[in-house]
Amino acid sequence: MPLDSRYEVNKPDVVDESVDGEVLIVHLGTGAYYSSRGVGDAAWQLIAAGSTALETSGLLQAARPAVADFVEHLLAEGLIRPRTKPVEPPPLVTVVPGEPVLEKYTDMQELLLLDPIHDVEEAGWPKAKPGAAAE
């Protein structure tokens, strides 16, 4: 993985929320969910906005190999993909010492995969069947 590649969140399969220094990430396609705290949350926000691993390590004052490993882990889990949109301005993040770590949980995988929201298309839900008469 080149340190100067840019990525984006793998939407709509992946949803994320950063709250109080922790990012929660759910991969709706696999049912796995993830957590990263402190420097990991900040790294996620920067990478999701289009910062490269090199830029992220500089902004966070984190070791390049640690950030590169974090990005590779995000890619391997299908949480990010190569960027297709313009780069966003980097968010303001708090510099937290340490290395980014991604924790993976699969204990609710079956439950998350049963959720009918996964079957929603861009047109929304519920969607009328083709040829159905409008009442």
Reported as a single tens digit per residue, the pLDDT across 92-115 is 888 888 999 999 999 988 877 775
**Is 58 within 8 Å of 43 (Cβ atoms)?**
no
pLDDT at 92: 86
**Distance in angstroms (rounded) separating the CA atoms of residues 99 and 9:** 20
Instruction: For residue 39, tell me if it sits in a domain.
Output: yes
Q: Is residue 82 predicted with pLDDT exceeding 50?
A: yes
Instruction: For residue 130, tell me if it sits in a domain.
Output: no
Instruction: For residue 116, tell me if it sits in a domain.
Output: no
pLDDT band of residue 134 (cuts 50, 70, 90) is very low
Instruction: For residue 117, tell me if it sits in a domain.
Output: no
Instruction: For residue 128, tell me if it sits in a domain.
Output: no
Instruction: For residue 14, tell me if it sits in a domain.
Output: yes
The number of distinct structural domains making up the chain is 1
The amino acid occupying position 74 is L
**Distance in angstroms (rounded) separating the CA atoms of residues 37 and 23:** 6
Instruction: For residue 103, tell me if it sits in a domain.
Output: yes
pLDDT at 88: 86
Domain extent, residue 91, equals: 7-111
pLDDT at 117: 54
Instruction: For residue 46, tell me if it sits in a domain.
Output: yes
Q: Which are the contacts of 114, defined by CB distance < 8 A and separation ≥ 6?
A: none
Q: Whole-prediction pTM value?
A: 0.80
